[in-house]
Amino acid sequence: MAVEVYKGAVDKGLEGVVACTTAVSSIVDATLCYRGYTIEDLAANATFEEVIWLLWNNEHPTKDQSEKLMKELSESAVLSDQTISFLNTLPVKDVHPMAWLRSAVSALSLWDNNSQDLSKENQRAVGVRLMSKMPTLVSFFHRKREGKNFVQPKPGKTMAWNFMYMLSGEEPNPEAVKVMDTCLTLHADHELNCSAFSTRVTASSLSDIYSAITSGIGSLKGPLHGGANEQVMRMLFEIGEEDKAAAWVENALANKVKIMGFGHRVYKNGDPRAKILKSMSKSLSESTGNAKWYKISDIIEQAVVSQKGLLPNVDFYSATVYYSMGIPMDMFTPIFAVSRTSGWLAHAYEQYDNNRIYRPRGEWTGKVGQHWN
């Protein structure tokens, strides 16, 4: 039997392959834009709720639209008694936070009677309900494993405020809220990355929103995509002191040990998000008594840049930002998921609006002419 062979097939992560058209976000050289607005502009001037509106609707929200969305997100963030009862049956001991979140998000669809309706109006309504509950779910998991009572969100507060409040059980200070809001904006979308592509592939089959977002979470769970900032913090702990940082880098490079948080598949002239996070890391680490970790990070950056020419990516300084805010290391990726859900939803909506199911082909590299005797 003849086997059709596709010459020029691309392996190694489909690098450089254009898989779809999109107007959600773009990367050109060292510039990241959401719907045409630079990440620097949005981080300095927009709230996360405004960024969500922008990603979903491809327009700058009016004051009324922004306030309406914030109200909807705030009201929908509360977990019902039935949902809480179910979530309490899920194990948390020795459970990966992203594995728990993946299961919890999938389960939410069972209480959403409209989850299978793919009309545009309903998709947006389902998106609001799911987006709003992501911080609530993450904080539920964290407090349950800590043996603490679950804290419901407060009405009328931003997602960043409520997220900090639900994690700690205490009202957050304004500076921490602003930092969290900016971090959520910086991580909201990033063109056709692994998890966005997973989301779109699932949506292309006309499966529901919950299935698409669960696919995104599953992809983000992998250490090659969403877990690098946790590994950065573990690296800093291993180094321990400023005077050991340069020698640690020398030894790592000599032994071909991967230094987490550097380099990027797309950015060759620096990740614009890393520059913003570096400034935040410096001020926040100093104000919270964690200046050592920023200083070690700065020494590592200088050494890696000078010896390898690699620049830090978004994961490198986000590690010290989150740590300085008192967030446990294994919660870094779930926070990433909370933010990125806004972008995943935007990609799912775009896929539904101009859909064709993904069906790539593979280049055959196996045996031919086999016979079963």
Active site residues: 264, 315
Specify whether the CB–CB gap between 267 and 313 falls below 8 A: yes
- DSSP letter assigned to residue 262: B
Distance CA 266, CA 358 (A): 23
152: Cβ–Cβ under 8 A, 6 or more apart, which residues? 78, 79, 136, 166
3-state secondary structure of 255: coil
What phi and psi, each to the nearest 5 degrees, are found at residue 32?
-105, 130
Radius of gyration, alpha carbons of the chain: 22
Distance CA 6, CA 361 (A): 8
> Which run of H or E residues covers position 303?
helix 291-308
Strand order in 25-28's β-sheet? 25-28, 31-34, 37-38
Cβ atoms within 10 Å of 75's Cβ, excluding its own: 14
Cross-strand bridge partners of residue 33: 26, 38
- DSSP letter assigned to residue 169: S
Question: Which of 150, 215, 109, 43 has its CA nearest to residue 54?
Answer: 43
Tokens encoding 233: 């913090």
